[in-house]
């Protein structure tokens, strides 16, 4: 059976924290603030850029009035930053190619800003694999609101969402779509806390896992 499979981006297909941290720290350096470690920045990824900037500002006690300018500067850097192909998690490209060859339609549903998402997909050579790309500023609301996932799935009844975080799991649940958890990404809680969720730790296993599950969808 062919499915529409939506993927989260940061922490699912791509380990993008080094690039995000670079953008954040470049903008902070002009203020004489920071730098923040990649680990700290990773903890702020998942709810979109405005939420990340608010957490950066809180962490460093930056003046409230600086939040909007800081967001604008980070967004400008983020839209230009190069993502190396090595940022893809192992096996991602091959797994996506297999899923396409099997006739599935693929989409991106990420809270990363849309322009930065398109650049990241182009840099890593993934653009042509996806039929639809919904970014964090594509719609009035972000994940965990399910509207983004509905848009990414474009009305397809037989669908799956693949992501790495609690936000992704919550989004899938709100949309009524089955969820597959990639356990090697930026999840904040223990895997056991999400043990009711089907999971995988290697993209080499994903096509088989989807084939097994698609029979029960
Ligand atoms: O928070 C972000 O900017 C992106 O996060 P996501 O790709 O995991 O949705």
Structure ipTM: 0.95
Active-site residue, 131 included: no
Residue in 8, 15, 137, 164 annotated catalytic: 8
**142 CA distance to ligand 1 centroid (A)?**
10
Q: Where are the alpha helices (DSSP H) in 109-191?
A: 114-123, 147-153, 166-175
Distance CA 103, CA 208 (A): 14
**165 CA distance to ligand 1 centroid (A)?**
9
Contact present, 12 and 163 (Cβ < 8 Å): yes
Atom of ligand 1 nearest to the CA of 143: 9
pLDDT bucket at 137, cuts 50 / 70 / 90: very high
Other C-beta atoms closer than 10 Å to the C-beta of 30 total 10
Say whether both 113 and 8 belong to one domain.
Answer: yes
Taking the CA atoms of 3, 160, 184 and 128 in sequence, report the sign of the dihedral they define.
positive
Q: Is the CB of 171 under 6 A from ligand 1?
A: no
Say whether both 148 and 168 belong to one domain.
Answer: yes
Distance CA 52, CA 48 (A): 6
Atom of ligand 1 nearest to the CA of 47: 1
Residue-wise pLDDT tens digits, 5-50: 999 999 999 999 999 999 999 999 999 999 999 999 999 999 999 9
Distance CA 10, CA 185 (A): 8
Say whether both 90 and 169 belong to one domain.
Answer: yes
What's the pTM value of the predicted model, to 2 decimals? 0.96
Say whether both 62 and 107 belong to one domain.
Answer: no
**147 CA distance to ligand 1 centroid (A)?**
15
Atom of ligand 1 nearest to the CA of 52: 1
Return the percent helix, strand and coil in the chain, to nearest 5.
Answer: 50, 10, 40
Domain span at 195: 4-15+86-214
Please tell me the total number of residues recorded for the chain in this structure. Answer: 217
Say whether both 74 and 90 belong to one domain.
Answer: no
């Amino acid at each position: 059976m062919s499915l529409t499979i939506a993927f989260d981006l940061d922490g699912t297909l791509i380990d993008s924290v080094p690039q995000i941290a670079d953008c954040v720290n470049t903008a902070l350096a002009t203020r004489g603030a920071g730098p923040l470690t990649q680990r700290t920045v990773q903890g702020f990824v998942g709810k979109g850029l405005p939420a990340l900037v608010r957490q950066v500002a809180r962490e460093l006690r930056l003046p409230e009035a600086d939040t909007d300018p800081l967001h604008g500067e980070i967004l400008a850097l983020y839209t230009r930053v190069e993502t190396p192909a090595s940022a893809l998690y192992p096996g991602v490209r091959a797994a996506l190619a297999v899923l396409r060859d099997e006739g599935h339609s693929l989409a991106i549903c990420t809270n990363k800003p849309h322009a930065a998402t398109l650049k990241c997909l182009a840099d890593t050579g993934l653009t042509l694999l996806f039929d639809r790309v919904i970014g964090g500023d594509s719609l009035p609301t972000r994940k965990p609101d399910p509207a983004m996932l509905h848009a990414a799935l474009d009305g397809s009844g037989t669908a799956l969402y693949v992501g790495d975080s609690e936000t992704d799991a919550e989004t899938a649940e709100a949309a009524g779509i089955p969820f597959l958890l990639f356990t090697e990404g930026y999840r904040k809680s223990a895997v056991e806390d999400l043990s009711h969720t089907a999971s995988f730790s290697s993209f080499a296993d994903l096509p088989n896992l989807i084939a097994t599950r698609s029979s029960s969808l």
